[in-house]
Amino acid sequence: MSKKWSLRKWPALRQIAERDPAGLGESAMSERTRALKPRTADADRVVDSVCPYCGVGCGQKVYVKDGKIMDIEGDYDSPISLGALCPKGSASSQLVAGTHRVKKVLYRRPYGTKWEELPLQKAMEMVADRVKKTRDETWEEQNKNGHLLRRTLGIAHLGGATLDNEENYLIKKLFCSLGMVQVENQARI
Amino acid sequence: MAECHPVGFRWVMEAKRRGATIIHIDPRFTRTSAVADIHVPIRAGSDIAFLGALVNYIISNDLWFKDYVVNYTNAAALISKDFQDTEDLDGLFSGWDVEKGQYDPASWQYEGVEVSPAAGHREMFSGEPRAERGAIIAAEKHDYTLTDPKCVFQILKRHFSRYTAEVVEDACGISKALFEKVARALCDNSGRERTSAICYAVGWTQHTVGVQYIRTAAIIQLLLGNIGRPGGGIMALRGHASIQGSTDIPTLYNMLPGYLPMPKASYDTDLQKYIEFNESASGWWSEFPKYMVSLLKAWYGPAATAENQWCYDYLPHITGDHSHMVTVAAMADGFVQGYFVMGENPAVGSMNTALQRKGLRQLKWLVVNDFAPTETAEFWRKAPEIASGEIKTTDIATEVFFFPCAAHTEKEGTFTNTQRLLQWRHKAVEPPGDCRSDLHFIWHLGRRLKELYRDSTDSKDRAIRDLTWDYGSKGAIEEPEAEQVLAEINGYDSSEQKYISGYKELKSDGTTICGCWIYCGCYKDGVNQPARRKPASEQNWVAPEWGWAWPDNRRLLYNRASADLEGKPWSERKKYIWWDEEQKKWTGYDTPDFIVNRPPDYRPSPDAKGIDTLSGIDPFIMQAEGKGWLYDPSGLLDGPLPTHYEPEESVLKNPLYGQQCNPARMEWVRRDNPYHKAWGDSRYPFIATTYRLTEHHTAGGMSRWLPWLCELQPEMFIEVSPELAELRGLKNGGWATISTMRGEIEARVLVTERMQPYVQNGTTLHTVGIPYHWSYVGRSRGNAANELTAFIADPNVSIEESKAFSVQVIAGRKRSDRRAAAGGPLNESDSGGPERDHPPVQEKPGGKHGLKAGKTELTEEA
Ligand code: SF4
């Protein structure tokens, strides 16, 4: 590398040569910074999503590499958020990939003092059995005036409001058809 | 809004940059106040006094939008001569039925005709449906000069005449000068050329008069001509990603998808009766049968036929109120065996959390679906009453199942945001381990139950056997196809084998299938409309090609009101939807919310029926007569006009009426839910209000486990003014004990001038601000605010009152972990006190599980 060339790399000279008196433009770039790229540039896929926290509905871009989420960023195309995310939305990559997540079904038996793990299929079977038993035992066909009730007050439900519409639809459809009327949601709270 | 909807607030800031005046009304000075032009520190629980004074200001200064009010609202309608106002009855309306303990709305009706309320309110109708409901709307009588003392406008004027700036000083602690500054700013910014918007969140809804808070805002916006116009409206800021969706496709006891009411046992005894009682003879709700039959076809498929009333009998029937707190009180009394809690944490987020846990202890089985075991899942080993030894884990029989859930990136589906906008999320990765979506859980549970009931011949099991449940699934985990569910919600035409493109195509003959009529069109042409993502930069400012809004991809409801009587925009500046005379249709930047080819000069013939009754100047098409309701002749249980009542537990006597509280409110009179004195309770002298912080999310299930968010807001605290700190010896950073008769908690103290005392009638009133995110599990823990609150609710929607109640605060850490729901009420002596109700209201009959609420009694037959 010639002497002349290295002198030209001296920042003050570059700021003058490149008409960048504040030193905030191109002249601030080193070879290393020039080679830097965002972590997300290596993503295999970018998936369109929506923030799961509040009702604003900010757009999210989910960056995936090797089947894992690398990062979640705001979506600049969204007319709602134009790329922005608030502290909660920005933390959603930790929500999905954090160590807090439990990955097994847990079970506490009556009067038990600890959690036990259960296989998913077994747990589903146990819940279905309990629904059937409680429903059959607490069924009300009609009231004393002979009006149809066709329901059970023995089982209730309370859902969060970060559930999808499709989920709520199947919850209402199934539970209603089982005769459950005490089906409620955070939407009332 | 800056705190809890930060990115939505960027648009408020954008408006400010363009010259808008931002007014923030809140007991606390927050990040919103910091950038607002005017901050109004209002006493928590007094908003109707403030808003009512705005109504009075607008009317008495003649600042209302004449053409709009006369033609687009029910200002000119004449009301029954039997109607008596709160002015006549010291805070009660006519029609209080002593025996039933609730209002009979007969005297509130229009002269000559009875109308049913619009969408979202139909299910609130109390009492026996009336035969004359749905009568021909043409029979309604009017006085378009608005001078008849029986017309809505004059009644409104009289009702609000006592809501003066002086009353605002006394009731809200706001100076006359500040009130007038707000009133002027609002009125100056309304009219043909300008519009103002009102945004609110649960600070307005969580009161015993919550619905009437919003009604007052609606009256203001109608008087000023701010509804159905760009930059106007009332925006409900929803706190959760799909809280709007959870109401549209309700997992709520009183509704079926699309705001269709659940059948009531005593009245809706068959489909014919159900339709008769719920459809309207005029306006858009005359289409009601089409929506109901299409829903039944979606659920029961080929089994639903005209002969069997489309399987109407398969639906369970309600008898009164089965809302969340009603259910939990019944649970605590041992009447509920099984409970599904999916993505919700009532042991932190609901009222009187010790009573919630008492309910959980009585269950046989509990299922919790969440990211990690929440307080609701851990109630049997980590709750305060377990820590204190009052309750023993080994005495609790409840079986608990915890199912780990999939994250939003591990499943696909739609959220409906606060603007009614559906947005589809694509799946990014597979869920780890045994984590599954709630869609997976419910679909597989349904499949198992269908299998368990497959061979049953019992008639009670027909609904589950005939239930259509054939959604495809994919992948090793057999995840159901969410898009197929969305397609069913949209609906299809069984005869033509095609997707329906809008609710106008629905039929009542069983040939159309539609899971939620207001979402009809979201899968138009077989295209997943909510998945549309045309960049904001490539379309107009309404952005109609981003996602899909219900109904019919309409971004602004009732937008016919953005044009004048002749269909021309009120002003060039506020142009939105207009009548195109050449093309003979409504057009504009958005989907017109009107019959698209109905000219502005159309007037219905006297014998018109259904939607033909809507004239060319009836923008509010969901109302029976097409007008915006300044006065609500039906549909609300606590009066046709908003009235200021004090919270259940107040520091003040009602400055406006002898009736202290909302007479129709729901109370739970039980030892595990004690109330303080109506006002002036020296044991609990301070106002408390609860709220959220930017860095956490409601009951914490999605935030208190994340290190990033816990680092930003690591610990439970309360906010108090320097004056209260001095009065109580509280130190910034030190400990305080906060108590009610329900429970006692401790928190760190933040002494800040952002909280200010009010001086009202010479008395100094202090407020304690309490964030409610924390509780006993998670990475960041603290005492839960809702250990303090009580079961007490608005009668219309059964929402709790947590935004204003009374508390005691003392310096230092708590001495006990006492809870009324475990060891009995705290501070039981001296509980008598001033009455909340006038004598006839005091007679309100008590119901089951301590519930005192007339409407429950009325429909309850057991
Ligand atoms: S990023 Fe923040 S403002 Fe946007 S939706 Fe999420 S929680 Fe709401």
In this structure, are residues B719 and B755 in contact, taking their beta carbons and an 8 Å threshold?
Answer: yes
Where does B233-364 have alpha helices with state H? 243-248, 271-278, 288-300, 324-332, 346-349, 353-362
Q: Which residues in chain B touch residue A40, judged by CB atoms under 8 angstroms apart?
A: none
Pairing of strands B365-370, A68-74: unpaired
Q: What is the pLDDT at residue B858?
A: 44
As a whole number, mean pLDDT of residues B303-309 equals 97
C-alpha distance from B355 to closest chain A C-alpha (Å):
16
Q: Which of A76, A82, A88, A92 to mutate to test the pocket of ligand 1 (most atoms within 8 A of CB)?
A: A88
Q: Which residues in chain A touch residue B243, judged by CB atoms under 8 angstroms apart?
A: 55, 161, 186-187
In this structure, are residues B114 and B634 in contact, taking their beta carbons and an 8 Å threshold?
Answer: yes
* Close Cβ partners of B530 (under 8 Å, ≥ 6 residues apart): B414, B422, B423, B424, B486, B522, B547, B548
* Residue A71 Cα to ligand 1 middle (Å): 16
Q: Which of A50, A60, A75, A86 to mutate to test the pocket of ligand 1 (most atoms within 8 A of CB)?
A: A86
Does the C-beta of A131 come closer than 6 Å to ligand 1?
no
Our measurement of the distance from residue A92's CA atom to the centroid of its chain's CA atoms, rounded to an integer in Å, reads: 6
Residue of B250, B438, B469 lying closest to B340 (CA atoms)? B438
Pull the structure tokens for residue B465: 């056997």
| Phi, psi angle pair for B277, to nearest 5° | -80, -15
Q: Map tokens 């939105």 to a residue.
A: B576
DSSP symbol at B130? P
pLDDT 10s digits, B711-744 = 999 999 999 999 999 999 999 999 999 999 999 9
Q: Give buried/exposed letters for A26-35 (b at 16+ CB in 10 A, else e).
A: ebeeeeeeee
* Residue B423 Cα to ligand 1 middle (Å): 14
* Residue B244 Cα to ligand 1 middle (Å): 15
* Close Cβ partners of B633 (under 8 Å, ≥ 6 residues apart): B77, B79, B105, B108, B109, B110, B114, B115, B640
Pull the structure tokens for residue B249: 């496709």
Nearest to B434 among A90, A104, A152 (CB): A104
Residue of B368, B391, B362, B393 lying closest to B380 (CA atoms)? B393
Domain B52-199+212-235+609-643 has CATH 2.40.50: no
**What is the spatial distance between Cα B634 and Cα B134, in angstroms, rounded to a whole number?**
12
pLDDT 10s digits, B41-87 = 999 999 999 999 999 999 999 999 999 999 999 999 999 999 999 99
Q: What is the pLDDT at residue B634?
A: 82
* Close Cβ partners of A124 (under 8 Å, ≥ 6 residues apart): B441, B444, B445, B448
pLDDT above 50 for B850: yes
Q: What is the pLDDT at residue B100?
A: 86
Residue nearest to atom 3 of ligand 1 (CA): B7
Our measurement of the distance from residue B35's CA atom to the centroid of its chain's CA atoms, rounded to an integer in Å, reads: 28
Find, in chain B, the residue whose alpha carbon is nearest to that of A188.
B799
* Close Cβ partners of B145 (under 8 Å, ≥ 6 residues apart): none
The percent helix, strand, coil of chain A (3-state, each to 5) is 35, 25, 35
Fold of A45-97: Phosphorylase Kinase; domain 1 (3.30.200)
Average pLDDT of chain B, as a whole number = 93
Q: What is the pLDDT at residue B134?
A: 42
pLDDT above 50 for B187: yes
CA torsion, ordered B66, B68, B73, B77, to nearest 10 deg: 40
CA torsion through residues B402, B404, B408, B414, sign: negative
**What is the spatial distance between Cα B383 and Cα B399, in angstroms, rounded to a whole number?**
16
pLDDT 10s digits, B460-482 = 999 999 999 999 999 999 999 99
Q: Give buried/exposed letters for B806-825 (b at 16+ CB in 10 A, else e).
A: bbbbeeeebeebbbbbbbeb
As a whole number, mean pLDDT of residues B436-444 equals 98
B208-222, B514-528, B831-845 — which is least confidently predicted? B831-845
Q: What is the pLDDT at residue B857?
A: 44
C-alpha distance from A83 to closest chain B C-alpha (Å):
10
Residue nearest to atom 8 of ligand 1 (CA): A54
pLDDT above 90 for B566: yes
Interface touch B434/A113, C-beta < 8 Å: no
Q: What is the pLDDT at residue A1?
A: 45
**3-class SS of residue A23:** coil
pLDDT above 80 for B95: yes
pLDDT band at B277 (very low <50, low <70, confident <90, very high): confident
As a whole number, mean pLDDT of residues B81-109 equals 93
**What is the spatial distance between Cα B577 and Cα A79, in angstroms, rounded to a whole number?**
21
pLDDT above 60 for B390: yes
CA torsion through residues B630, B633, B635, B638, sign: positive
Q: Is A85 on the interface with B (CB under 8 A)?
A: yes
Q: What is the pLDDT at residue B409?
A: 97
**What is the spatial distance between Cα B410 and Cα B429, in angstroms, rounded to a whole number?**
5
pLDDT band at B133 (very low <50, low <70, confident <90, very high): very low
* Close Cβ partners of B247 (under 8 Å, ≥ 6 residues apart): A185, A187, B255
Nearest to A47 among B426, B536, B707 (CB): B426
* Close Cβ partners of B104 (under 8 Å, ≥ 6 residues apart): B95, B96, B97, B127
Cα angle for residues B284, B290, B295 (degrees, 5° grid): 120
Q: What is the pLDDT at residue B457?
A: 96
* Residue A73 Cα to ligand 1 middle (Å): 12
Residue percentage of chain B with pLDDT more than 70: 96
- The type of residue at A171 is I
Q: What is the pLDDT at residue A8?
A: 67
Q: Is A92 on the interface with B (CB under 8 A)?
A: yes
* Residue A56 Cα to ligand 1 middle (Å): 6
B136-140, B339-343, B504-508 — which is least confidently predicted? B136-140
pLDDT 10s digits, B615-649 = 999 999 888 889 999 999 987 899 999 999 999 99
Residue of B289, B285, B313 lying closest to B635 (CA atoms)? B285
* Residue B790 Cα to ligand 1 middle (Å): 30
Interface touch A162/B242, C-beta < 8 Å: yes
In this structure, are residues B194 and B186 in contact, taking their beta carbons and an 8 Å threshold?
Answer: no
Does the C-beta of B7 come closer than 6 Å to ligand 1?
yes
Q: What is the pLDDT at residue B114?
A: 65
Residue B217 to residues B105, B179, B504, B568, Cα–Cα distance (Å): 22, 16, 31, 26
pLDDT 10s digits, B656-713 = 999 999 999 999 999 999 999 999 999 999 999 999 999 999 999 999 999 999 999 9
* Close Cβ partners of B398 (under 8 Å, ≥ 6 residues apart): A108, A110, B360, B361, B362, B363, B364, B365, B366, B380
Q: Map tokens 């649960």 to a residue.
A: B202
Q: Which residues in chain A touch residue B257, judged by CB atoms under 8 angstroms apart?
A: 169, 172
Q: What is the pLDDT at residue B759?
A: 83
Q: What is the residue extent of each domain of chain A?
A: 2-35, 45-97, 120-185
Q: Which residues lie across from B808 on neighbouring strands?
A: B739
Cα angle for residues B680, B681, B682 (degrees, 5° grid): 100
pLDDT 10s digits, A118-174 = 999 999 999 999 999 999 999 999 998 899 999 999 999 999 888 999 999 999 999
Does the C-beta of A107 come closer than 6 Å to ligand 1?
no
Q: What is the residue extent of each domain of chain B?
A: 1-37, 52-199+212-235+609-643
Residue B191 to residues B66, B126, B560, Cα–Cα distance (Å): 9, 37, 16
Q: What is the pLDDT at residue B116?
A: 59
Residue of B761, B752, B751, B821 lying closest to B786 (CA atoms)? B821
pLDDT band at A4 (very low <50, low <70, confident <90, very high): low
Q: What is the pLDDT at residue B635?
A: 78
Q: Which atom of ligand 1 is nearest to the CA of A57?
A: 5
Residue percentage of chain B with pLDDT more than 90: 86
